[in-house]
Amino acid sequence: MNWRRGRAWWLLATAWLPAQEPAFAHLTAPPRGLPAMALPAAPAPTQAMFDLGKALFHDPILSLDKTVSCHTCHRQDHAFASPERLPRGVGGQQARRHAPSLLNRGYGKTQRWDGSSPTLEAFVLEPIADPREMALPVEHALQRLRAEERHATAFSKAFPDGVNQDNLATALATFVRGIVAGDAPYDEFLAGRHDALTPAQRAGLWVFESKGACWKCHTPPLFTDEDFHATGIGVVDGTAEPGRAAHTGKPADHGRFKTPGLRGLRHSAPYMHDGSLATLADVVAFYVRGGNPHPQLDRKLAPLTLTEADRLNLVAFLESL
């Protein structure tokens, strides 16, 4: 294979890597472009906790019929998101919402599309007991883990008090904090390497920051404001899902959902909390028309005047993240 052809294959392969390999080191030394991560003070994360969390994340022992793991819905080859609109749980059940990417969730102020999980530790336990997902009461999961020598031993290495609910949550959350995505062409561009972005991607960055106004909700460097907005996604016959209002009870929160981060976006389709938009071109078209009609449509949304070139360039920039 000659040099040019070899380089072309290398570029093709690396272009489709969805994220850095999850690593404990990312908790204290995040990739270029990402800020320092706030970590729990007690218990302080350790490599043993991360390794245990990684094993549990991939183990179907935490589901009722031992057929589903966390990785089933949050696949590493799909930027730790689900390729299905509504991922399947045990017994053919379907989750209520799309399983979004876990990239950079360690930075999140709240978790879930409606923000109902206040911490990462609370969030990682919820799918285990959810009847539509893993359908196993957490106490039953703990009994299984105590009975498995390999897991009981790993818990003993990571925690002085072994297998319990808090330690299960801590281990899984520690692993999820190591799932990050940074050091993208965008970050190289900001660091001064002008050719890290193609001309189309640079033009798309201009659209993102100017007449597209995407940055207002998808704020760099994590490309999310961690806030909640009503865009009209999920509206049926003029009626929206409760969204955040189901958690807060506030009428003003009706139809509002969390702004997802955009890192690894090209790998995590479909998009939105219901998985209703199949491609990034669909997402751009949705925002160009100003979202879907909604009685409480977010004030930041309005129809955009983007040319076909603007749209293509914007998609190119989004893919560079």
Q: How far apart are CA 124 and CA 111, in angstroms?
A: 9
Max CA pair span of the chain? 64
DSSP string, 179-241: ------HHHHHHTT-GGGS-HHHHHHHHHHHTTT-GGGTS-TTTT--S-EE---TT-BTTB--
List the domains of the chain with CATH numbers: 20-177 (1.10.760.10), 185-319 (1.10.760.10)
Distance CA 141, CA 134 (A): 10
Give, as one character, the DSSP assignment of residue 29: S
Give residue 217's pLDDT: 97
Q: How far apart are CA 217 and CA 310, in angstroms?
A: 19
Strand partners, 117: 111
C-alpha span between 59 and 144 (Å, rounded): 12
For residues 261 and 271, give the distance between their C-alpha atoms in angstroms, rounded to a whole number.
Answer: 11
Q: Which residues, given as ranges, of the chain have pLDDT below 50?
A: 1-16
Predicted pLDDT of residue 121: 97
Q: Which of 135, 116, 119 is nearest to 127 (CA)?
A: 135
Whether the model clears a pTM of 0.85, i.e. scores above it, the answer is yes
CA gap 17, 19 in Å, rounded? 6
H-helix segments, the chain: 3-15, 47-57, 70-73, 120-129, 138-147, 149-158, 165-177, 185-190, 199-209, 245-248, 280-288, 308-319
What gap in Å lies between CA 207 and CA 54, rounded to an integer?
39
pLDDT at 218: 98
Cα separation of 166 and 146, whole Å?
Answer: 14
Which helix or strand (DSSP H or E) is residue 258 part of?
A: strand 257-258
pLDDT reported for residue 240: 81
DSSP letter at 163 equals: S
Question: What's the pLDDT at 12?
Answer: 36
Q: What is the DSSP letter of 268?
A: S
Residue 238: the pLDDT is: 74
